[in-house]
Chain A
């Protein structure tokens, strides 16, 4: 089939806009509210011991049901499993725009957790990032019980 490069078809912009409202679930609600007290909750599977953060109602690994009684507080400290540096960001309209300053991001394993957290990193230069680096959470000045209470993670003080 030919590419028909001599023809240029007209385009019409057709937005796909819809608002969605999801239930966060009870454990996630507790997780979000606890952020106001600078606490991070995970949930530990009573059968296989896997610790999910944010908490989930069920263990996908061993298929057990988890509940409030399985909530476990995590320290907010962890290690950097991996890192990357963003040079671009999506502008929300579908285009990439160049960042004026590169932003480091991290894959973090909190102490006592098994899930990976994907978080922005701060107070660190991209070239200083190292696998296994100890990191800790930086809270918003006045946490309100919202996800935005976790501002970013930074290298932990020794």
Chain B
């Protein structure tokens, strides 16, 4: 990368269903919180990038109304209509351009405002898939899960083990929404079926929440903090539309990860990355993510979960925070992964700290994880 950029501050909400706060208050709290965490003021910020989805917000060009809440008044500002992790990528580029030194990135969704699964169906081709009425992110994930499970002989129990791991991990995370310290595979497999094989506990909960980070150029980062979290690599990739991609693997995530590894000089992610925070909107997706990230061979994600290798005490802990299954305030979810990865590097993951010098954060957007972004963060 041309110059170095670091995360120097962060904040997130206590994600929950129906948070008792207006959207603007929620945004204000995390934006102000991230500035406070960095020890800087609104005046120090050069550019503000936000992320939310207009349809989920129920407003068009929704940043017009939240711009003052996020601290963008009379500043350079732009919005990403997807996950906040993409907004972080955008902010990184704005700093690397040399035009800006300090960026505030904020992302939010109040999933309780409107059923986000209904909104997902509006992302489909209006002239075809949408007309049949049954297709949405959950039913598409069910078709993806079944295809993946059949192809590689993955059992429902193995998929449920991902949910058990993440929901138990969420119990240790103050900010998580769905905490289930005693959950069992049986309980997951007995939870309500939506679209077989997807059940209530193998899909992410509908959460309200927000998240913000402060990014700074190398020079500013060193002034601001003694514990900068450096962005060592980043990659982002878009797959084809649902009809025209291989659903049993995450090609765009694989490409995004390869780009990020290349930039960070990572040749063996299993050995060189200490902790992973990924956006698994469905339990089976986490197994697919292991494979796309190159942590195991194609179809062998089940082995990692079965052997406990991705547990908190495993070789390659994945989602010690509880991941998206623990809380999914949609547009904030990927940015929360960036924060959780940064917390691990700063040694601030109280209750679920992994000794970490280098961490990976992943965000996604679109039905069946059509689009993906990967960050490699480090302390050096």
Q: Which residues of A contact B (CB under 8 A)?
A: 1-5, 7-9, 14, 16, 20, 22, 24, 28, 50, 52, 54, 60-61, 81-90, 94-96, 102-103, 105-107, 114-120, 126, 131, 147-148
Contacts and interface: CB of A to CB of B under 8 A. Distances in A.
Contacts of B129: 118
Interface residues of B, number: 49
Nearest to B150: A131
Interface string B166-202: 0000000000000000000000000011111110000
B118 interface: yes
B268 interface: no
B158 to A, nearest CB: 18
Nearest to A8: B20
B150 A94 contact: no
A129 B370 CA distance: 26
Contacts of B121: 90
The main secondary structure of chain B at its interface with chain A is mixed
Nearest to A2: B14
A126 B197 CA distance: 12
Given A90-B117, A95-B115, A102 B196 contact: yes
Contacts of A120: 132, 134
B20 A7 contact: yes
Interface in B107-144: 114-115, 117-118, 121, 126-129, 131-136, 139-140, 142-144
Contact of A82 (B33, B59, B135, B147): B147
B3 interface: no
16 contacts: A2-B14, A52-B244, A54-B127, A82-B144, A84-B196, A86-B134, A87-B196, A90-B117, A90-B121, A96-B115, A105-B135, A115-B243, A115-B244, A117-B243, A118-B132, A147-B131
Given A4-B20, A60-B241, 10 more contacts: A52-B244, A84-B146, A84-B196, A86-B134, A86-B194, A105-B134, A105-B195, A107-B147, A118-B242, A147-B128
Nearest to B55: A16
Contacts of B192: 87
Contacts of A14: 58
Contact of A83 (B29, B136, B143): B143
A9 B244 contact: no
B16 interface: yes
Contacts of B55: 16
Instruction: Determine which residue in A84, A103, A107, A115 has the highest number of CB atoms from chain B within 10 A of its CB, and name it.
Output: A84
A10 to B, nearest CB: 11
Contacts of A90: 115, 117-118, 121, 133, 136
B240 interface: yes
Given A8-B20, A118-B135, A94 B140 contact: no
Contacts of A22: 126-127
